[in-house]
Structure 1
Amino acid sequence: MDETKGRVKEAVGDLTNDPDKKREGQADRAGASVKEFAENAKDKVDDAVDKLKDKRD
């Protein structure tokens, strides 16, 4: 969702020649990438913990 919002803001900035709006869109897209990376890392850690719990049982 944030990726799409960022792309829209960036496009609006391009169309309206508004560099602030374009930068805001780029920041939204970068934030979405960081958020996705963190969620993937959390999922991998959760999977590793589950595997360790299964081995212990």
Structure 2
Amino acid sequence: MAASEKARAKAEQAVGKAAQAAGHAVGNHKLVAKGHAAEAAGAAREAKESLKDTGRH
């Protein structure tokens, strides 16, 4: 289960980075902000999974 959550976190971060790049390219500040939020959510999910892994070992 943890591997799928880690993959989901990485995907969320990638989507966030893509949204940021698209927002910067067209000058859409709202899209840039949504990209930052998605990337931060992915980073938080990844940190949570890493913390769970350290608790298991």
Indicate the TM-score class for this superposition, using the shorter chain for normalisation.
0.7 to 0.9
Query: Taking structure 1 as the reference length, what is the TM-score of the superposition?
Result: 0.78
* Counterpart for residue 32 of structure 1: 42
Q: Can you give the 5+ residue segments of structure 2 that lack an aligned partner in the other structure? A: 1-10
1:45 aligned onto 2:50? no
Q: CA deviation at 1:36?
A: 0.5
Larger Rg, first or second structure (1 or 2): 1
Structure with greater contact order relative to length (CA < 8 Å, sep ≥ 6): 2
Structure 1: 5+ residue runs without aligned partners?
48-57
- Could you tell me how far 1:46 is from its partner in structure 2? 1.6
Q: What's the counterpart of residue 19 of structure 2?
A: 9
Runs of 4+ in 1 over 3 A off after TM superposition: none
Query: 2-side partners of 1:37 and 1:4: how far apart?
Result: 16
